[in-house]
Amino acid sequence: MSAPPSSPRSRRLAPSFRSLLTVAFLLAALPLVGALVESVISLERLSREARQAVTQAAAGARASRQLADQALTLERIARQVQILDDASLLADYRTVRQRFKATSSELALLPLSEAQLATLNQAVETEQTLFARLSDAAEEGVKAASLVEGYRRLSDSATQLLAASNEINDREVARLGTLATDTERQLWWRLTAMIGLSLTGAALASWLVARPLKALGQAVRRLGEGDFTRPVAVSGPADFEELGRRLEWTRQRLEELESQKQRLLRHVSHELKTPLTALREGAALLKEGALGPLNPAQGEVVGILDDQSRQLQALIERFLDYQRALQDLGRVELAPLDLADPVHTAVESHRLAAQARGVAFVLDEAAAPLRVRGDADKLATVVDNLLSNAVKYSPAGGRVLVRLTARDGAAVLEVCDQGPGIAAEARDQVFQWFYRGAPGHSALAGSGLGLAIARELAEAQGGRLVLGEPRLPDYPGAAFSLTLPRLTE
């Protein structure tokens, strides 16, 4: 079976993983960039308003002081014209008057209130009236005493305008404070909204990426567990879809190989068992004397044939058991459970066999439930193998300790017996495939798979199965311990 060709059409229609990452980055970054740009614009506007306010305040203060000084100067020149009766001083007056009018125009451009603007207009009109009267009096050589009072009112108006510049400053400061507060509030609202949009975009992009990754992960896990029946279907970026098609091809190939292996095993088993059965039956007939009595030498040969045929059949059965065990190891379904439940199941299944040999189980359970994440059936298989070995090697009338404890954040199961224990040279071999120890107190030899399967099942559930040193004087035999991570409530 060749690898499936990639689909150009799907590559054209579906975006690639790189383009999807680019879109995800833009979705997350653009709102923040927008918030940053908006913040810069708002701060620039606030800075511009502040510069304008400072400029206006400085101009207002300068113009108010100049207007007050110019009003006093006009009053002094007017007094000199009246006292000295010198009409030539009117030229100096006209010069100061032009500056007075220019300063008044500059003040009029500032953000004055209606009352302040009325005061400024009144000062300008008063000065015009006074200038006309002063010019007439100088030409006619007449002294006008009322002019002095008029110029005093003009100075008072200019002084009022000087105070008005301070009011302008205070008003601008208050306005800038309000503007700064409003700008800060708007920036916070915009920043919050933009962060929300960024998080939403990031979450959407994460979902778009995580969905095909999750499908790929599930497909790989099923293949690792030996489940080749469910097709692999992945939708998303073109890269992931192509990877999904590759995995589907792998699944089909593995399914085909698994089918071929099962057919081969069935065929080999059948082809071996048929002649082996005939061989055993023929040896049995010869041994029973169905074809006549056998001399001692013939009887010895027939006994050898019978023993070897039985051993060959046992080897075939062990081989088939090994294949079935390998298939079961990949099918572990983890779920929260109390470790005591599979332990009780295994103890009850062995109670009758233990009683037949006079062996008793001693249960020592923890006060609180030992919650772990495991496969109840597979854990029961682990405990079953441990109890089977303990009962097998325990003497008649012996006891088997089954203890459940919590230790260092883990759930621990200990199985200790009163048998002869395990020799030092065999301790490193007990978990190896097909290793068989002494037959113990049972006439039946083991298959050499029990403890190897138990360790593999323990590790498949995140646990650890070890053979420890006997620590209890009442249980000097083998001491196995199963450790599993304990779930926190």
Give the length of the chain.
Answer: 489
Q: Are 68 and 155 in contact (CB under 8 A)?
A: yes
DSSP assigned state of 445:
P
Q: Please write the tens of the pLDDT for every residue from 328-383.
A: 666 677 889 998 899 998 899 888 888 888 899 998 887 788 899 888 888 888 89
Average pLDDT of the chain is 77
CATH T-level topology, domain 238-329: Helix Hairpins (1.10.287)
Question: What CA–CA distance (Å, rounded) separates 331 from 349?
Answer: 23
Question: What CA–CA distance (Å, rounded) separates 196 from 199?
Answer: 5
**Is 83 a residue whose pLDDT tops 60?**
yes
> Directed axis angle between helix 114-140 and helix 17-84, to 10°?
30
Tokens 């110029």: give the residue: 151
Q: Supply the pLDDT for residue 483.
A: 92
End-to-end CA distance of the chain: give it in Å, rounded.
50
SS3 69: helix
Higher local confidence (pLDDT), 219 or 143: 219
Q: Please write the tens of the pLDDT for every residue from 92-102.
A: 878 888 888 88
Q: Supply the pLDDT for residue 11.
A: 46
Q: Please write the tens of the pLDDT for every residue from 144-165.
A: 556 767 777 777 777 777 666 6
Across 21-34, average pLDDT: 72
Q: Supply the pLDDT for residue 301.
A: 80
Q: Supply the pLDDT for residue 183.
A: 77
Question: What CA–CA distance (Å, rounded) separates 272 from 289?
Answer: 26
Return the minimum-mean-pLDDT range out of 18-32, 60-74, 255-269. 18-32
Across 209-228, average pLDDT: 77
Nearest to 441 by CA among 385, 348, 358, 360: 358
**Is 218 a residue whose pLDDT tops 70?**
yes
Adjacent-strand bridge partners of 364: 403
Structure tokens at 437: 């120890």
Percent pLDDT > 70 in the chain is: 81
DSSP assigned state of 471:
-
Q: Please write the tens of the pLDDT for every residue from 256-293.
A: 887 887 787 777 777 777 777 777 777 777 777 777 77
Q: Please write the tens of the pLDDT for every residue from 282-341.
A: 777 777 777 777 788 877 887 888 787 777 776 777 667 666 666 666 667 788 999 889
Query: Among the ranges 5-9, 10-14, 167-171, 240-244, which has the highest mean pLDDT value?
Result: 240-244
Question: What CA–CA distance (Å, rounded) separates 117 from 139?
Answer: 33
CATH superfamily of 335-485: Histidine kinase-like ATPase, C-terminal domain (3.30.565.10)
DSSP assigned state of 487:
P
Taken in order 382, 385, 390, 396, is the CA torsion positive or negative? positive
Beta strands in 408-461 (DSSP E): 410-417
Question: What CA–CA distance (Å, rounded) separates 259 from 348?
Answer: 37
Q: Are 373 and 485 in contact (CB under 8 A)?
A: yes
Give phi and psi for 464, each to the nearest 5: -150, 130
Place 10 in a pLDDT band, splitting at 50, 70 and 90: very low
Q: Please write the tens of the pLDDT for every residue from 414-431.
A: 999 988 888 777 777 787
Across 33-59, average pLDDT: 74
Provide the residue ranges of all domains of the chain, joining segments of one domain with +.
20-199, 238-329, 335-485
Nearest to 318 by CA among 262, 269, 249: 269
Across 202-220, average pLDDT: 78
Domains 20-199 and 335-485 in one fold: no
Across 131-145, average pLDDT: 64
Place 142 in a pLDDT band, splitting at 50, 70 and 90: very low
Question: What CA–CA distance (Å, rounded) separates 229 from 227?
Answer: 6
SS3 292: coil
Burial class (CB in 10 A: 0-12, 13-18, 19+), 180: middle
Full-model pTM: 0.48
Helix (H) or strand (E) holding 351: helix 340-356
- Per the rule left: phi > 0, alpha: psi between -120 and 50, beta: everything else, 408 is left
SS3 33: helix
Q: To 10 degrees, the CA torsion angle through 281, 284, 288, 290? A: 30
**Is 63 a residue whose pLDDT tops 70?**
yes
Question: What CA–CA distance (Å, rounded) separates 185 from 191?
Answer: 10
Q: Please write the tens of the pLDDT for every residue from 116-135.
A: 777 778 778 887 887 777 77
Alpha helix locations (H) across 225-339? 238-288, 296-329
Q: What is the DSSP string of 125-182?
A: HHHHHHHHHHHHHHHHT---THHHHHHHHHHHHHHHHHHHHHHHHHHHHHHHHHHHHH
Q: Supply the pLDDT for residue 443.
A: 43
* Distance set, CA 370 to CA 339, 343, 463 (Å): 6, 11, 14
Interstrand relation of 360-364 and 399-407 (parallel, antiparallel or unpaired): parallel
Structure tokens at 33: 């960039």
CB atoms within 10 A of CB 205: 19
Question: What CA–CA distance (Å, rounded) separates 398 from 475?
Answer: 9
Nearest to 203 by CA among 31, 13, 35: 31
Helix (H) or strand (E) holding 338: strand 335-338
Q: Supply the pLDDT for residue 484.
A: 92
Q: Supply the pLDDT for residue 48.
A: 78
Question: What CA–CA distance (Å, rounded) separates 20 from 86?
Answer: 92
Q: Please write the tens of the pLDDT for every residue from 447-482.
A: 567 788 888 888 888 899 988 888 888 888 888 999
CATH 2.40.30.10 fits 20-199, yes or no: no
Give phi and psi for 429, each to the nearest 5: -110, -10
Q: Are 161 and 62 in contact (CB under 8 A)?
A: no
